């Protein structure tokens, strides 16, 4: 349990820390594979001819696609908790602009808060909230997200 407490304290000391933004180049195949993987057959995500006639003049990504970019930054930050488990707690997302092939999406991750709870058999648990912003090459905010993870 001492390691759990030191991990929680370590995470608490990083509240407000913004990780170095990373840029992800979006390509059509990524979008199409994602749509197939989640079983979404909307032709806006997969059919170039259909999508070209639509309001975006081409393929766009499903709104949840954006969540596939940047999460490894959170995973890397949590690797110091190697002895415990990390679980997904929740995801809240607001989307503002569609993501298209050719976009360069900058992902900025910030540690928003850390709450500690004592678990029965698991000992200390940390509820860690991450605020993530996604910005395209035109400096438009594409989406904003809050991810909650539970580490024990």
List of domains in the chain: 2-26+63-151 (3.10.129.10)
pTM: 0.87
Residues 63-121 pLDDT 10s? 999 999 988 888 888 876 546 778 889 999 999 999 999 999 999 999 999 998 887 76
pLDDT at 1 over 50: no
Q: Per 3-state DSSP, what percentage of the chain is helix, strand, and coil (rounded to 5)?
A: 30, 35, 35
Answer whether 80's CB lies under 8 Å from 7's CB. yes
Per-residue b or e along 36-64, where b marks 16 or more CB atoms closer than 10 Å to that residue's CB:
eeeeeeeebbbeeeebeeeeeeebbbbee
């Amino acid at each position: 349990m001492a390691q759990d407490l030191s991990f929680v304290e370590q995470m608490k000391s990083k509240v407000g820390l913004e990780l170095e933004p990373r840029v992800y180049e979006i390509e059509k195949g990524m979008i199409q594979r994602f749509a197939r993987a989640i079983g979404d057959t909307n032709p806006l995500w997969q059919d170039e001819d259909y999508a070209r006639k639509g309001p975006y003049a081409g393929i766009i990504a499903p709104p949840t696609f954006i969540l596939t970019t940047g999460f490894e930054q959170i995973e890397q930050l949590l690797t110091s908790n190697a002895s415990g488990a990390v679980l997904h707690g929740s995801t809240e997302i607001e989307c503002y602009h569609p993501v298209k092939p050719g976009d360069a999406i900058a992902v900025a991750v910030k540690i928003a808060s850390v709450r500690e709870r004592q678990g029965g058999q698991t000992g200390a648990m940390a509820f860690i909230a991450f605020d993530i912003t996604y910005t395209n090459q035109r400096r438009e905010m594409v989406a904003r997200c809050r991810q909650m993870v539970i580490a024990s």
